[in-house]
Amino acid sequence: MSTIPPPASVTRRELSGITPSGPLTLGNHLGALRRFRVQQDNGFYFVANLHALTTEHDPRRLRQLTLSTAALFFAAGLDPDRATVFVQSDVRAHVELSYLLESTAHVGELSRMVQFKEKGGRPGTRASLFTYPCLMAADILLYDTEYVPVGGDQSQHVELARDLAERFNTTYGDTFTVPAFAPAAIATRVRDLADPAKKMSKSAPDDAPGVIRMLDRVDVIRRKVRRAVTDSDNEVRYDPEHKPGLANLAEILSALTGLSTDEVLAPHTRYGQLKDACADAIISELDPIRRRHDELMNDPAELRRTIRHGAERASRIAEPVLQRAREAIGVGGSSTSSSRPSTGTVVGSGRKSQAMCNGPPSSGSTPT
């Protein structure tokens, strides 16, 4: 089990978004936020609140989750002087480019998207669930993204982003950098403590017993870990197939300590010992983040100012790409050249990009 990956080359920009479909979990931290912290120089990280509109939601809760998620980005170690942190809806280029890509996409390919096939076709299905992959493509293409590290559950959407970029370029002229797949950057996939057959989902009910939230108090974390499902043979060994609950605890502890699963299991002869060690490690990692989050949320005006500053920086990168697309497709002025750099670098920065985006919320689970 690997821990935090090494820093990316300084010549690449990383862009990644997390949908505020629920309070962030230990899985979000181990799978994304810790990586953001390490990769943050020249990184662009956004709260994908527009993706949360694809299903029924409470507007007040969405606003709160959006602000809280941004606060967790900072509390987990993102420095606004090094990384660009923003809210997706604050950069209007995302929405406008999404429509231009909707005007490039075909109904058939959108209807084949797994997310829509699983959740669409029901009474009350929102049109945004159908077109959401175009918004995700816009998220990627706006920043001249070259490399997309993404998990298997989102690979279909990234392939669509590639298809749309190629079709747009062929039809309207060389406009977008076509993103390439890169090996998945997120190795840690935390499973639900109560049901290790499922991943730990931020969209689960807030009181889900197997989901550790980043803002859980110390006593809550201990209770959830102690009640984690294991098995009845009391043999401490790493066996994901036959002992998935125990393996999940070992993988969490491994990710937090940097030791192998065999190394974290070696000192323990009883499940209770392993659970206590796992709870201690989780608390040591998350409790300082929770306290820093609460400090940031106690000054919402300053937090919003920092987020707006990030949105302004993101807009300066995104707007030239949007203008290239507008002019190419025929809805922008043509008084100035809109040609893009032939090397696929980000406009105005001379830096290549990579991106990872999350999908829309779902009833039971979301992409990490």
Residue that wins the pLDDT comparison between 156 and 149: 156
pLDDT at res. 334? 57
Span 138-155, average pLDDT:
77
- Comparing CA positions, the residue from 28, 101, 5, 20 lying closest to residue 307 is 20
Phi, psi of 81 (to 5 degrees): -85, -15
Residue 74: burial class (beta carbons within 10 Å; 0-12, 13-18, 19+): buried
Span 62-87, average pLDDT:
97
Rounded Cα distance between 48 and 87, Å, is: 7
pLDDT at res. 348? 34
At 354, which helix (H) or strand (E)?
strand 352-357
What are the catalytic residues?
119, 199, 202
pLDDT at res. 11? 47
Three-state secondary structure call for residue 262: helix
User: Is 50:95 a contact under the CB 8 Å cutoff?
Assistant: yes
Q: Which span out of 9-18, 95-104, 341-350 was modeled with the highest average pLDDT?
A: 95-104
The whole model's pTM is what? 0.86
pLDDT at res. 150? 62
Query: Mean pLDDT over all residues of the chain?
Result: 85
288-341 pLDDT per residue, tens: 999 999 999 999 999 999 999 999 999 999 999 999 999 999 998 754 444 555
pLDDT at res. 351? 40
Where does 178-299 have alpha helices with state H?
A: 218-226, 244-257, 261-265, 271-297
Three-state secondary structure call for residue 333: coil
At CB < 8 A and 24+ separation, what contacts does 319-327 make? 319/93, 320/347, 320/348, 321/93, 321/97, 321/141, 321/142, 321/143, 321/144, 321/176, 321/347, 322/93, 322/96, 322/97, 322/142, 324/175, 325/97, 325/100, 325/168, 325/175, 325/176, 326/96, 326/100
pLDDT at res. 182? 62
- Assign 102 a pLDDT band (cuts: 50, 70, 90): very high
pLDDT at res. 357? 54
Span 159-172, average pLDDT:
94
Both tokens of residue 132?
């959401």
pLDDT at res. 133? 93
13-64 pLDDT per residue, tens: 778 899 999 999 999 999 889 988 988 988 899 999 999 999 889 999 999 9
Placement of tokens 């058939």 in the chain? 108
Span 192-202, average pLDDT:
94
Placement of tokens 């036959």 in the chain? 242
Q: How many CB atoms lie within 10 A of CB 218?
A: 13
